[in-house]
Structure 1
Amino acid sequence: MQALTQELLDKFRDDESKNFHSRTLQAALAKTPIKDLAFVPSKAAKLNGDFSIELKTRGITWQQNSGRCWMFAALNIMREKVAQKCNLDKFELSANYLAFYDKLEKANNMLEMVIENADKPMNDRMMEYILSGFHDGGYWDMAVDLVKKYGVVPKSVMPETYQSLHTEKFMKLLISLLRKDASILREMIGKGIDVTTIKEKMLQEVYRMECIAFGEPPMTFDFDYRDKDGEFFSDKNLTGKQFYEKYVGCVLDDYITVTNHPTSGLPMDYYYAFHYIGSMADSNVRCLNLTQAELEELTIKQLKDNDPVWFGCDSGAYGDRDEGVWDQDSLDFEGLFGGIDFSMDKKKRLEYHDSFATHAMIFVGVNVDEDGKPNRWKIENSWGESAGRKGYFVCSEKYFNEYVYEVIVNKKYLTDDQKALLSNEPEIINAWESDWL
């Protein structure tokens, strides 16, 4: 190991003293956010304009300070079915309702994984993964599992609370409790004690915490609404599952997660699955790894059929929240830092943990040029109407190719060869490899 020497530091200082551009850039950075200085209006302006394929949606949602983007994106697709069926201009499903059960399922999964791996040492890779805990983020398959088990309810039936919109402290307290529970379970199992009853009591505490923070989910409710023509309707004594079946009705199992992870760990044309710590105890996340060109072609096919596309991307890469833009050319970080080259190809970014899917949203449009090639994509976000372009964003084709890692598409759009890949059980990969393989 070679330490920094004074001689080397003196060399750095001497070289930098001759760089007049650095002093100008330093002065600019002293009082201005990096992304504001890096923003290139002339490049971002190229992303303006309408879209040749564009879907109508009914209002922007706001997840606020929670990690439920994946859930909002899934619910926003489903709410369009309800709004269309009920002739509504605006409608929203309850993320609080589904998130309540999501946290309870995740807690159960964590405790089950502790029990299953109780014989492993504390420094085992699996135990380290389990005890890292979970957050309120997730994947499409997790939303599907929740909806199939618990259904959905209108937001008016179980509205948000301060805690559901600001989840950081609650999640820290919950994970702290579950780590304490993990220590108790491991000790009892080590002594040969049956832990079934104690695990139930632990989950009862989680349930109580959630009821206090978020409210208790309703067992039944009435759906009363007036449509955009002024006609009043009332549907009584519904469960969440009954509401889903009657007013949403889409078959969620018809959809598959298509990823583009061009790494040495995941070959193309590869059907794989992993058991994420945030999943239900009896369910896996399933994905089909295809080329970027195939992923894009499937996305466009679905949009052409007026069906929005859930997708996961790296929202921290080349994005401007105020301008509503994701685009490498519109944010010149390289020039701002004196010509330093930050670029890596998609494969290396994933393998070296520099990038992964951090945010889920919905594609609701794409502009295709005269040659049939897409050049910009319209996005419905869940950051409220004050973000972006009244809640909508746009990304360039360049950003789509490099930083969109997964999309959800109906299996009917797959080619015969792609469908054939799904005919066998998926290969299981380690859960901790899922984000970057």
Structure 2
Amino acid sequence: MSKAIEHQQLSNFKKSLESHPEHKVLERAVTKNGIYTTSADYRSEVNMTPVFSIDLDTGDVANQKQSGRCWMFAALNTMRHDMKNKFNVPKDFELSQNYTFFWDKLEKANYFYENVIATADLPTSDRKVAFLMTTPQQDGGQWDMIVAIIEKYGIVPQSAMPETFNSSASREFNSTFNLKLRKDAVTLRKLVAEKVPVKEIEDTKEKMLDDAYRMLAYSFGEPPAHFDFEYRDSDKNYHIDRNITPIDFFNKYVGWNLDDYVSIINGPTTDKPYNHMYTVEMLGNVVDGRQVRHLNVDMETFRNVAVKQLQSGESVWFGCDVGQSSDRQKGIMDTELYHKDELFDIDLSISKAERLDYGESLMTHAMVLTGVDLVDDKPTKWKVENSWGKKVGTNGFFVMSNDWMDEYCYQIVVNKKFLSKELQEVLNEEPKVLAPWDPMGALA
């Protein structure tokens, strides 16, 4: 039964406030400075000094600017780190995020159309249809999605397809592109309802994709089919590789077996028992491409495999909820950074599983682990390469406490050779399909 707030209750609330002798001081402090500044703990900055026992030299940080391509930047950064070691490319060398962005957008359009057709018999009020229409496509993604793009289209250096206005500031394009996709959804659903021949639907979809390609070409430039890779290495030696294709470039200059790299998650909710595989319905970009697959493990296993990969000299892609207990300018992510519970004298504790179940947290950003500080073989803090440019953190690098990793990190990508034999066998099991809106389907 509903009950309104009564005047007597308000009187009681006022008396309760006045019973706190410090309430006037705190009111002045919080109203003047805000919650974060007032509750900040300087000791966190002391503990998060950017010094690490394992510290990979990965070159300069990149800058995704006003776009949501962190997952793409993080993946391409792990590959350029390897290129730096193998080919001595300059520290400011980058792979083209605009190139993979173009193909991801086109493939997401096709993926959206296919899901629209598959759900066309459901009413627009159905939760799946509403989920599709809320965001037909966006900048974000997951590891398996960038792998699907690379396997189909390869990669190119940034010199072969540089940034454009729209790749660096994608809001205008996304707004326009999503308008087109929703309009196309109206057309496709009507065709299905009218029971027109499948061939007519396919022809209509192809015309829609043709329009999408033109929009992308105008906005991002057309991707190269061949290009010359010309550069001077860090020792000023000149190199040129003429008329190479994006697929051949990946095979020659990165050369990873992408099947070896797997997504590990820590999702401690009751519906996801550990040591099992999961996928998410309607999550992906390339139709018939690589499926999004997650191996759910406990946090100790999660940390240990990340440490092993760093010890081998290889950086680690990871996904987290970057806005939680973090300072963007200082480049600190630490559970002790703010004490909001002490400031308000209220218990604000909530478990990682509860945060996921109740919408308090999910993966929002992807970055790269490039170092770790081990004390008695246990991690205490991690070095993080972000993609927000050099003006934040320490030249663009952040420091993450181990406790912060435990609470707000949800995904890492590691070479499966660092997993136990038992977990390597689990990778082969058929994944449980999670609902499209499951938090493990969040796009970084």
Give the structure 1 partner of residue 41 of structure 2.
40
Give the distance between the partners of 2:371 and 2:220, measured in 1 at CA: 34
Deviates more, 1:242-251 or 1:207-216: 207-216
Kept in 1, the 8 Å contact 2:17–2:23? The answer is yes
**Alpha-carbon distance in structure 2 between the residues aligned to 1:33 and 1:312:** 28
Q: How many residues align?
A: 435
- SS of match in other structure, 1:361: strand
After TM superposition, the structure 1 = structure 2 runs for residues 48-63 of structure 1, keeping only pairs within 5 Å, are 48-63=49-64
- Give RMSD over aligned pairs: 1.6
The question of whether the paired residues in 2 share the 8 Å contact of 1:259 and 1:405 is answered with yes
Structure 1 stretch 150-159 or stretch 81-90: which is displaced more? Answer: 81-90
Residue 291 (structure 1) aligns with: 298
Distance 1:273 1:335 in 2: 39
Counterpart mapping for 1:88-237 below 5 A: 88-90=89-91, 91-133=93-135, 134-193=137-196, 194-237=200-243
Unpaired runs of 5+ residues, structure 1, are none
TM-score (norm. length: structure 2): 0.94
In structure 2, give the amino acid aligned to 1:21. Answer: E
Deviation at 1:192, TM superposition (A): 1.5
> Of residues 284, 306, 311 in structure 2, which corresponds to 1:304?
311
CA contact (8 A) 2:283 2:436 kept: yes
The aligned counterpart of 2:347 is 341
Native 8 Å contact 2:363 2:439 kept in 1: no
The change in CA–CA distance for 1:393 and 1:212 in structure 2 (over 3 A counts) is same
Corresponding residue for residue 419 of structure 1 = 424
From 381, 387, 392, the equivalent of 1:382 is 387
3-state DSSP of counterpart to 1:136: coil
Distance 2:98 2:50 in 1: 35
Counterpart of 1:30 in structure 2: which amino acid? T
- Residue in structure 2 matched with residue 431 of structure 1 by the alignment: 436
Q: Does 1:323 align with 2:330?
A: yes
In the other structure, the counterpart of 2:23 is: 22
Are 1:62 and 1:382, in contact at CA under 8 Å, matched by a contact in 2? Answer: yes
Q: Cα distance 1:29–1:434, how it changes in 2: closer, same or farther (>3 A)?
A: closer
Deviations 1:48-82 (A, max 9, x none): 15211111101100111111100000000111222
Amino acid at match of 2:423: Q
Q: CA deviation at 1:365?
A: 0.7
Q: Deviations over 1:136-163 (max 9, x none)?
A: 1110000111111111111111111121
Point out 4+ residue stretches in structure 1 off by more than 6 angstroms. Answer: none
- 5+ residue gaps, structure 2, are none
Paired residues for 1:232-243 under 5 Å: 232-243=238-249
Q: Distance in 2 between matches of 1:276 and 1:238?
A: 35
Write the letter of the residue equivalent to 1:223: F
Alignment deviations for residues 196-246 of structure 1 (CA, whole Å, 9 cap, x no partner) = 111111112221211122111111111111122222111111111111111
Q: Secondary structure at the match of 1:30?
A: helix
Deviation per CA, 1:253-312: give whole Å up to 9, x if none: 101111110101101111111244442222421000011011111111111101111111
Q: Tell me the distance in 2 between the aligned counterparts of 1:335 and 1:235.
A: 60
User: In the alignment, is residue 72 of structure 1 matched against residue 78 of structure 2?
Assistant: no
Residues 274 and 434 in structure 1, CA contact (< 8 A), matched pair in contact too: no
Q: Return the offset for 1:34.
A: 3.4
1:95 alignment partner AA: Q
102-111 vs 128-137, greater mean Cα deviation: 128-137
Tell me, yes or no, if the aligned pair for 1:114 and 1:185 is still in contact at 8 Å: yes
Moved more, 351-360 or 126-135: 126-135
CA distance in 2, matches of 1:268, 1:434: 16
- TM superposition shift of 1:26: 2.8
Residues 1:314 and 2:321 are matched in the alignment: yes
